[in-house]
Amino acid sequence: MMFTLFTLLSLLLAPSTLLTTAQHPASPTPRRWDQAFLLANATLLNLTLADKAAILTGTGWYAGPCVGHTAPIASFPEYPSLCLQDGPLGVRYAKNVSAFPAGVTVAQSWDRKLMWDRGNALGEEARAVGVHVQLGPVAGPLGKIPQGGRGWEGFSVDPFLTGVGTAQTVRGMQTAGVQACAKHFIGNEQEVNRTTVNAEIGDREMQELYLWPFAEAVEARVASVMCSYNKVNGTWGCESEGVLKRLLKGTYEEGGLGFSGYVVSDWGAQHTGIGSANAGLDLAMPGDNIVGDTGDRKFLWGDALIEAVNNGSLTTERLDDMVRRVIGAWYLTGQDILAYPEVGFDSRTPFQEANPDPGTGSGMRRLVGRQEEISMVEKHKDIAFRAARDGIVLLKNEGKALPLTNLKSLAIIGEDAATMPEGANACMDRGCNNGTLAMGWGSGTSDFPYLIDPLTAMTNHAKTTNTSLFTSTTNDIPAARSAAAAADVALVFVNSNSGEGYITVEDNPGDRLDLNPWHNGNALVAAVAEAGKPVVVVVHSVGPMILEDILSHENVVGVVWAGIPGQESGSSLKEVLFGGYNPSGKLVFTIAKSEEDYLTKVVTGDVDTFEEGQYVDYRRFDKEDMEVRYPFGYGLSYTTFQYGDISSNILHHIERNASIGKLDLYEPIATISAMVTNTGDKAGAEVAQLYVSLPQEIDTPVRQLRGFDKIMLEPGQSGPVEFQLRRKDISFWNVGIQRWEVPKGEISVAVGGSSRDLPLKAIVEL
């Protein structure tokens, strides 16, 4: 009888899909949570207590080819041993899969469709090699600390932009049939002492900054959320009822997000057995305690869950809720009807790189992989290229020095221009900074299927244009001067790297020691500038860098911020430098004039008081009316744009203090529109940005990003940009009533090309 009911439910609730037994079946349309839970509830009826405990407990540190596994269930043969695998820019340790640009770089494109495309490609590749749960995207760290080690894995220091990037990535990944896992929840803003530091986050900044991107992930039906290592307001993040049960899973009326999926621990972040279960943790990873490169096979859950139910310290209702959430996510993403392949990689196998493949160029590497060759890298090559290209930000272009045209000779200078001789993947988890920087280090990395470095791309271009190249791909000062003196223009490459705290690179413990370019990059630029030729500086960096020394030289006529570009690094850069593509990227953080201006910094003790409150990055600079080098949202083009004709359309009038439900928060209440005109002589795209200013009486930032629209225009062409305002976008978190509230007083909006270039202003008449 139960089998008949289950079969009927499966047929009725099956997502629309083209079923196939091929290796890469078509993706389903994801189900809704209510549909997934109907199936999960029917399944629960057939599971034993031992089955339930096995579903919720990892099988151990490196107990299988993935970084995390659950056990198969004999009484539920359709349900697999779940494979959980990093990460946010590619499938870690798999071969012949893409190494996409990092989140911070795709965010610099300010392109919603490109964010979705990248997420969908990530999901397709994860599923193709047997991953059920991909550990990404990264919604925290938000990046409040510019030196923070893992900010590059996420999208932006701004919660609205990070929220868009997170939601679009989740939708793209789960449309491909893989479970997304938004991480790290919450307050994991640095690597130093990340397993001990206590993040003391006030209620208002929690809601308005750090929780915001996770709220957008929940709205996008994210399957899972990973809780973080650190303490939050005195309690471990994976053990805190206030964090997990109230903030994440609680209803809107309780001040929560109403998350329907499951909470998985960061690896080893579980501290107690039944305490963590009662606090809101649903899946323990890796299951046992991590001791060096092995696990101790001492499980806090497993049999302990069975004992807890039997002795009453864990209720059956809570246990079933945990299981319902985990298998519900499996149903949500349609993994019950997909012909899922076996895992096609092994995280336990040390990485080995093949010899360079003749004919592919010095920057191309072909890897020896364990799994069968798959077509995903070729299929997604264009997405990787576009995400890298469209994320390039032009910071300085004096005298229209760029694009580079009609050159007779060009110097390529700096170790960041070329792949290190040992190969792009020579350092495990990219734990070094030798050669060109295309991703940071740590668990958020993947192996390059190839890396087109800038030198390779420039060399190939020079062959087609008969341009003489003079190269110095070290940071040796005399060699740099010599190369620059021989050429018409010098390209100087500098970088700044960071990563996860289990690896220390050149004394940088995950977090950066400072915001200067690595390896004497300032001195390298100074030496080249002294040669008297025009200098264009290309920056590969994980986050903000202080550029004052670089910009102090009058011969530095151009600065190109190339971010963390992934496998298509050189090819994407070449398009921008030589005019094949008009740059349209914009900064997703502020570049200050000094490191001290940021105020926020790595805490070396055990407590981060988050004393800056809401005033992080541009919010702080605007509050203090501080001068910056390049503001948030800034980026030049090879053409120019003019803004005009702002107008607003109120979709419906609202009562400011009315009691509202969660659905009301996300309903559109107004649209703001404006016209943008390309006043230059080249086709180009402009990212128009909308900022909202609430009444200052409620102690709120001067302005906050609440919309953006990217438009492509031909020379002389005008076109409309439009922004949709939701009720939440014009609200603040009222601590007293624990609700979002539209404040009394005047609410204004401003539109322009950056946070400090806002020529259009209007009042929102609610």
Query: Which pLDDT score is estimated for 348?
Result: 87
Task: State what percent of residues in the chain have pLDDT above 70.
Answer: 92
Cα–Cα dist 150/140, whole Å = 9
> What is the average per-residue pLDDT within 667-674?
95
Q: Is residue 366 over pLDDT 90?
A: no
Provide the 8-state DSSP code for 524.
Answer: H
Which residues is 263 bridged to in the sheet?
225
What does the pLDDT look like over 432-459, one tens digit per residue? 999 999 999 999 999 999 999 999 999 9
Torsions phi, psi for 693 (to 5 deg): -115, 120
How distant, in Å, are the alpha carbons of 397, 398, 552, 585, 678 from that of 401? Answer: 6, 6, 17, 18, 20
Reading the block at residue 765, the tokens are 């008449």
pLDDT of 15 higher than 80: no
**pLDDT of amino acid 657:** 64
- pLDDT band per the 50, 70, 90 thresholds, residue 352: very low
Per-residue pLDDT at 694 exceeds 60: yes
Q: What is the pLDDT of residue 658?
A: 61
512 pLDDT more than 70: yes
Using left for φ > 0, alpha for ψ between -120 and 50, and beta otherwise, residue 449 falls in alpha
pLDDT level of residue 360 (50, 70, 90 thresholds): very low
- Any idea what DSSP says for residue 367? B
Residue 540: beta bridge partners?
495
Preceding amide of 184 cis, omega within 30: yes
In the chain, the percentage of residues whose pLDDT exceeds 90 is 87
Check residue 62 and report its DSSP letter.
T
10 Å Cβ neighbour count for 624? Answer: 12
Question: Please, are residues 347 and 67 in contact by the beta-carbon 8 Å criterion?
Answer: yes
Q: Tell me the CA distances in angstroms from 542 to 349, 437, 732, one per residue in order.
A: 28, 9, 31
704: nearest Cα among 729, 673, 722: 729
CA-nearest of 607, 604, 605, 623 to 615 is 623
Give residue 294's pLDDT.
80
Strands 468-472 and 409-413: parallel
pLDDT of residue 368: 32
CA 648 to chain centroid: 32
Choice among 91-95, 153-157, 358-362 with the minimum mean pLDDT: 358-362
Single-letter residue type at 695: P
Decide: 579 and 406 in contact? Cβ < 8 Å.
no
Q: Are 503 and 441 in contact (CB under 8 A)?
A: yes
Q: Count the helices and strands in the chain (H runs, E runs).
A: 21, 27
Question: pLDDT-based confidence at 362, cuts 50/70/90?
Answer: very low
The yes-or-no verdict on residue 732 having pLDDT over 80 is yes
List domains and CATH numbers for the chain: 2-332 (3.20.20.300), 392-588 (3.40.50.1700), 639-763 (2.60.40.10)
Distance of CA 495 to the CA centre of its chain: 20
CB 342 within 8 A of CB 65: no
Which residue's structure tokens are 């799994």? 371
**Cα atoms found within 13 Å of the Cα of residue 156, Cβ hemisphere only:** 27
Q: How confident is the model at residue 3 (pLDDT cuts 50, 70, 90)?
A: very low
Q: Choose between 753 and 354: higher pLDDT.
A: 753
Q: Could you tell me which of 637, 584, 585, 573 has the C-alpha nearest to residue 396?
A: 637
pLDDT digits (tens, 9 = 90+) for 129-143: 999 999 999 999 999
C-alpha separations of 385 from 56, 426, 572 in Å: 39, 23, 6
Q: Distance between CA 474 and CA 515 in Å, rounded?
A: 21
- List active site positions: 266
Helices (H), 333-465: 376-379, 381-390, 454-465
Higher-pLDDT residue of 28, 594 = 594
Alpha-carbon distance values, 73 to 261, 306, 331 (Å): 20, 16, 16
Does the pLDDT at position 582 exceed 60? yes
Bridge partner list, 396:
559
Residue 716, pLDDT score: 98
Q: How many CB atoms lie within 10 A of CB 431?
A: 18
Strand spans (E) along 328-400: 393-397
CA 268 from centroid of its chain's CA atoms: 22
**What distances in angstroms separate CA 163 from CA 35, 286, 306, 765, one per listed residue?**
25, 28, 38, 26
Output the pLDDT for position 10: 57
518-557 pLDDT, tens digit per residue, is 999 999 999 999 999 999 999 999 999 999 999 999 999 9
Residues 344 and 30: beta-carbon distance below 8 Å: no
How many Å separate Cα 608 from the centre of its chain? 23
Coil/strand/helix, residue 461? helix
pLDDT for 29 equals 67
Q: Between the CA of residue 506 and those of 288, 443, 496, 509, what are the distances in Å?
A: 32, 18, 12, 8
If residue 750 lies in a helix (H) or strand (E), which one and from where to where? strand 748-752
pLDDT digits (tens, 9 = 90+) for 327-343: 999 999 999 998 889 99
- Looking at residue 296, its amino acid is D
Q: For residue 681, is pLDDT > 50?
A: yes
Instruction: Indicate if the pLDDT at residue 12 is higher than 90.
Output: no
Radius of gyration of the CA atoms of the chain, in A? 26
Number of residues assigned to the chain = 766
Measured between alpha carbons, how far is 513 from 168 in angstroms, rounded to an integer? 33
- The order of strands in the sheet holding 393-397 is 393-397, 556-561, 535-541, 489-496, 409-413, 468-472
The pLDDT of 451-477, averaged and rounded, is 97
State residue 660's pLDDT score. 66
HEC per residue, 308-330? HHHHCCCCHHHHHHHHHHHHHHH
Q: How confident is the model at residue 370 (pLDDT cuts 50, 70, 90)?
A: very low
In DSSP notation, 143-202 reads: --STT-TTGGGS--SSHHHHHHHHHHHHHHHHHTT-EEEEEEETT---STTTTT-EE---
Sheet holding 68-69, edge to edge: 68-69, 83-86, 133-135, 179-185, 224-227, 262-265
* Dist. CA 756–CA 720, nearest whole Å: 21
Residue range 609-634: average pLDDT?
A: 98
Q: Cis peptide before 423, with omega less than 30 degrees from 0?
A: no
Is the separation of the CB atoms in 3 and 306 below 8 Å? no
Mean per-residue pLDDT over the chain, rounded: 92
Give which of 256, 247, 242, 181 is closest to 217, Cα–Cα: 181
**Predicted pLDDT of residue 652:** 77
> Is residue 676 within 8 Å of 621, Cβ to Cβ?
no
Torsion (CA) 373, 376, 378, 379 in degrees, nearest 10 = 150
Cβ distance 15 to 3 under 8 Å?
A: no
Residue 364 pLDDT = 27
